[in-house]
């Protein structure tokens, strides 16, 4: 960990966070939400402002979360790679469940896992509501979920080398938990350390 140009009026925790940003180390360790996505993007921007040549390492230990926030972070990482030639390594320590493994990790140039990490893959879904829903709103929700599913399947197919039809069949109507070794064989990650 490098510490330079450190402000003097900050706490130890803030100093450690600042030092990690100088080294390009970013953490996603919460549910994926508009707030956690904002924090990760802010940290990436700040890390690149401090040291523009930095290769970023995104440490992931997340139970997954909301699709729109996840795809927003995915698009942001891909844009960094294209516009700034920023190299992003995803490093899973613990778990990359749901959108953390299926979307965000897949945006990274290199996808690494610690040996005991776990990964969750599944079809997209939505939380139930207590409201009475009309048939047309249920159909709209179903169409939205199908579109989201198509996007996620395309991302997974692109990175894993598997056909969309194969992935769709493997995930249909069930949750699939994978060990790091299984995730490597599946094409979800590139390396185990």
The question of whether 85 is a catalytic residue gets the answer: no
Catalytic residue among 27, 36, 113, 122: 122
d(CA 94, CA 100): 12
Contacts of 28 (CB under 8 A, 6+ apart): 36, 40, 58, 59, 60, 61, 62, 100, 104
Catalytic residue among 98, 101, 113, 117: 98
Task: From 117, 23, 16, 34, select the one nearest 76 (Cα to Cα).
Answer: 34
The question of whether 114 is a catalytic residue gets the answer: no
Main-chain phi, psi angles of 75, to 5 degrees: -60, -40
Q: Which residues are catalytic?
A: 98, 122
């Amino acid at each position: 960990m490098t510490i330079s140009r450190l402000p003097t009026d900050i706490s130890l925790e803030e100093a450690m966070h600042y030092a990690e940003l100088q080294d390009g180390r970013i953490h996603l360790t919460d549910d994926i939400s508009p707030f956690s996505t904002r924090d990760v993007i802010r940290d990436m921007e700040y890390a690149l402002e401090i040291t523009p040549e930095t290769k970023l390492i995104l440490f992931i230990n997340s139970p997954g979360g909301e699709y729109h926030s996840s795809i927003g972070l995915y698009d942001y990482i891909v844009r960094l790679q294209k516009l700034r030639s920023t190299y992003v390594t995803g490093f899973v320590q613990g778990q990359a469940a749901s959108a953390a493994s299926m979307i965000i990790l897949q945006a990274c140039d290199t996808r690494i896992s610690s040996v005991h990490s776990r990964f969750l893959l599944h079809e997209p879904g939505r939380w139930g509501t207590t409201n009475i829903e009309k048939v047309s709103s249920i159909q709209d929700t179903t169409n939205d979920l199908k579109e989201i599913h198509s996007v996620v399947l395309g991302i997974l197919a692109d990175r894993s080398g598997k056909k969309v039809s194969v992935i769709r069949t493997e995930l249909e109507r069930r949750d699939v938990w994978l060990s790091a070794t299984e995730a490597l064989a599946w094409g979800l990650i590139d390396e185990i350390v």
